[in-house]
Amino acid sequence: ARQIPYPDGGVAAIYASHLLEHISHRETTETLKEWCRVLKPKGQLIINVPDLEWACAKFLENYRENKSIGSNSYKNYQDLLLVFYGHQDAPGEYHQNGFTQKSLKKALKKAGFQKINIQKTIDAHQIGVLIAQAVK
């Protein structure tokens, strides 16, 4: 994902689901620039990443007040550590970055994307995620 073997402007769209959080925060900008490079003019990037703000709020609510997280997969604050750090069962299953709407939008702008729209939603695992759509 850091180096895509396609020419400049050779791809119409990129979809990256639960990938960007596995790339080091130090490499995020360069990775997004690479994705922008291979996209055609007006090409579309769609990203799905865990919502760090959602995870922080749910972690603290459960830890401090024992409030339900509302997920069958993540029942308590200890389970939510997987959202922060990844499952770590195999190489590559480590989270090296986290995103809020604000930080993801800033990273996409810095990489050269325009028309950025980021929505908060709940995914199939009943965790908060960000779905970003950006145009080159």
Q: Are 133 and 109 in contact (CB under 8 A)?
A: no
Classify residue 64 by burial, with Cβ atoms within 10 Å: 0-12, 13-18, 19+.
exposed
Confidence of residue 104 (pLDDT cuts 50, 70, 90): very high
Nearest-angstrom CA–CA distance, 44 and 130? 16
The residues with which 44 forms a beta bridge, in sequence order, are 13, 135
State the pTM of this model: 0.94
Q: What's the rounded mean pLDDT across residues 108-122?
A: 97
Q: Are 36 and 120 in contact (CB under 8 A)?
A: no
**What percent of the chain shows pLDDT beyond 70?**
100
pLDDT single digits (tens) 6-27:
999 999 999 999 999 999 999 9
pLDDT single digits (tens) 45-78:
999 999 999 999 999 999 999 999 999 889 999 9
